[in-house]
Amino acid sequence: AQSVTQLDSHVSVSEGTPVLLRCNYSSSYSPSLFWYVQHPNKGLQLLLKYTSAATLVKGINGFEAEFKKSETSFHLTKPSAHMSDAAEYFCVVSPRNQFYFGTGTSLTVIP
Amino acid sequence: EPEVTQTPSHQVTQMGQEVILRCVPISNHLYFYWYRQILGQKVEFLVSFYNNEISEKSEIFDDQFSVERPDGSNFTLKIRSTKLEDSAMYFCASTRRASGIKGGTDTQYFGPGTRLTVL
């Protein structure tokens, strides 16, 4: 069975401080993993993806994620939050030709 | 940069009516998907489509749903008899190839969504 757990439904950080959005997954297959961002009233935009190459994945807008197989985690980080990072973030696991979304983490950035 | 487009952006319909949601995937993509997101809930997979047939579908995708690629560019989702609980944002996505291919899953590109409101 496949599932994705985003451990925090809401995260609030101050502008300029680090961001950590947590994601754990379970999969019967070796999955591909993605992070998507959704700004209000917008579609889903790919931030980054892991597809069995390097375990540390760099994405757009300064985001990174590290795949840790032993912990079945794929946490999203950014060294310094910007106001424009405020959005909903989704972790996605794709073991086969389906994509399973986490419930999302809402990121608030405080000026 | 090529993008997935969806029309209409907002559809309002009466319960029991049929609706067709339209998507134009990226032109060289071969795999197409529909998802829905009920307000305040997570994005849910509905169906994937390849080579003019359904590849995978979820439990949500019951007999009232159907998909079609009527021509070389459009990909449609039809809901035959809408219910109140079908009110949601519906996202179309496409990939150049499927997951499970050596090298990992290809990136899904999402459209901006169609907001369906069933009254």
> Which pLDDT does position B102 carry in this prediction?
43
DSSP structure class, residue B112: -
From A32, A98, A101, residue closest to B104, measured CB to CB = A32
CA distance B85 to chain A (A): 19
Residues sharing a CB contact under 8 Å with residue B62, sequence separation 6 or more, in sequence order: none
Beta carbons of B107 and A52 less than 8 Å apart: no
pLDDT tens digits along A59-100: 989 999 999 988 999 999 999 999 999 999 999 988 766 778
Segments in chain B forming alpha helices (H):
none
A chain contacts of residue B33, beta-carbon cutoff 8 Å: 99
Cβ atoms of residues A87 and A93 within 8 Å: no
CA distance A62 to chain B (A): 19
Residue B10 has pLDDT above 90, yes or no: yes
Cβ atoms of residues A65 and A57 within 8 Å: yes
pLDDT tens digits along B65-107: 999 998 888 999 999 999 999 999 999 999 887 654 444 457 7
> Which pLDDT does position B103 carry in this prediction?
42
Residue A28 has pLDDT above 50, yes or no: yes
From A36, A43, A98, residue closest to B112, measured CB to CB = A43
pLDDT tens digits along A33-67: 899 998 887 778 889 988 777 889 999 899 999 99
CA atoms within 13 A on the CB side of A69: 11
> Which pLDDT does position B99 carry in this prediction?
52
Among A24-28, A95-99, B1-5, the least confident range: A95-99
CA distance B24 to chain A (A): 15
What chain A residue is nearest to B105 in terms of C-alpha separation? A32
Among A29-38, B12-21, B58-67, the least confident range: A29-38
> Which pLDDT does position B109 carry in this prediction?
87
* Per-residue buried b or exposed e for A46-78, using 16+ beta carbons within 10 Å of the residue's own CB: bbbbbbeeeeebebeeebbbebeeeeebbbbeb
